Amino acid sequence: MERKYKVVLTIAGSDSSGGAGIQADIKAISALDAYAASVITAITAQNTKGVYGIHPVPADMVSAQLEAVFTDLSPDSVKIGMVNTPEEAQAIASALEKYRPRHVVFDPVMVSTSGCGLMADGAMKSIVETLFPLSGLVTPNLQECGALTGKQVSGLGEMEQAARTLCSRYGCSVLVKGGHSEGNEMTDVLYNNGRAVLFHGKRIDTPNTHGTGCTLSSAIATFLAKGFSMEDSVQYAKDYVTLSIAAGKGLGIGHGHGPLWHQAKGTGLRDAQQRVDRWIRQYGVRYFNELTNMAVLTEEVGELARVMARKYGEQSFKPGENQDPSEEMADVLWVLACLANQTGTDLSEALERSFAKKTARDSERHRNNPKINDFRND
């Protein structure tokens, strides 16, 4: 049987507060409609204010977890986060060399959001030299870039140079994250396939950024598993993280750097639009012709109508019925997203306007229809 969801493996430490590490990874992967598997490298005692203890998982147990996942689940993509010891790094490297997953994203977590070191003393060089060459993408922030290159990294020029240096040294793509820079504008630099690509964004005024890097790298790994290009995966992951940070502004969880809200609304529609973008590039579609393409609308909308009529007919809705029109509805959404993409329409705003109009129209109809009012009174 063909699997319904892509499988993304996260290899990282456990965060007892649930905001970062393996917990953030699983939330992000699941929110983006993929299946999350996990290998825990460390148990940490932490919350939104700090890290109070780190217990590394023995390397042989890391190996056992990896073997269990790879031999049964065959992950489509792998995300690596906190690696505490060189022995853990070697265990991970052995599994990557043995099973050769298609996509590997490594977020070289060195310091937590609260400022606590997450790698054992003197372990960075060994961990980096073991795992960077086996990664397709590494995602250091500015401070981590400075530690990796031995030079302070701040401006765009220094970010691009650092990305080029690490790419040349280890043979992997590099995303230098600019979230720790000052100012309202933030820029990330991706060096991939011999060229630098800039991703711009605005800073969201909130202290709730615990787990941002974990979430970003997991989201990138998820989009790569779904077949998106490196550049698209980075962009879509950044969109998702931005949405999650904005949704988490008012969570009120913890008394320090609070978490993101990984179940932020709107990701489903965004994912549909992303799929349409890929389809447009793949097949060269540039416009929607109502005469030649009306068959697409007719087929999908007609199928939805057929299923809904079969399911409900002239009767009222019956909870618990087995028929599920969700796939036909998704096809209709797909076509609508195509139209929205080609016309520059904000589908979310259009749906809200349509809902408001329909609600007002239905209210007026109910007021003027004595049969409906009689039925309600009964």
Based on the residue annotation, tell me whether 212 is a catalytic residue of this protein: yes
Find, among 218, 248, 242, 217, the residue nearest to 48 by Cα: 248
C-alpha separations of 298 from 56, 175, 306, 313, 340 in Å: 58, 44, 12, 20, 17
Tally of CA atoms within 13 A in the half-sphere of 368 that contains its CB: 6
The single residue of 214, 215, 267, 338 carrying the catalytic annotation is 214
Based on the residue annotation, tell me whether 202 is a catalytic residue of this protein: no
Judge contact between 259 and 18, C-beta under 8 A.
yes
The single residue of 79, 177, 226, 238 carrying the catalytic annotation is 177
Based on the residue annotation, tell me whether 177 is a catalytic residue of this protein: yes
- Pairing type for strands 104-106 and 137-138 reads parallel
Cα 145 to its chain centre, rounded Å, is: 23
The single residue of 212, 222, 242, 267 carrying the catalytic annotation is 212
Q: How far apart are CA 107 and CA 135, in angstroms?
A: 10
The single residue of 85, 209, 222, 242 carrying the catalytic annotation is 209
Find, among 77, 42, 79, the residue nearest to 62 by Cα: 42
Q: String of b and e for 59-76 (b: at least 16 CB within 10 Å)?
A: beebbebbbebbeeeebb
The single residue of 81, 178, 211, 248 carrying the catalytic annotation is 211
Based on the residue annotation, tell me whether 214 is a catalytic residue of this protein: yes
Q: Residue type at 102?
A: R
The single residue of 13, 19, 213, 258 carrying the catalytic annotation is 213
Based on the residue annotation, tell me whether 211 is a catalytic residue of this protein: yes
Active site residues: 177, 209, 211-214
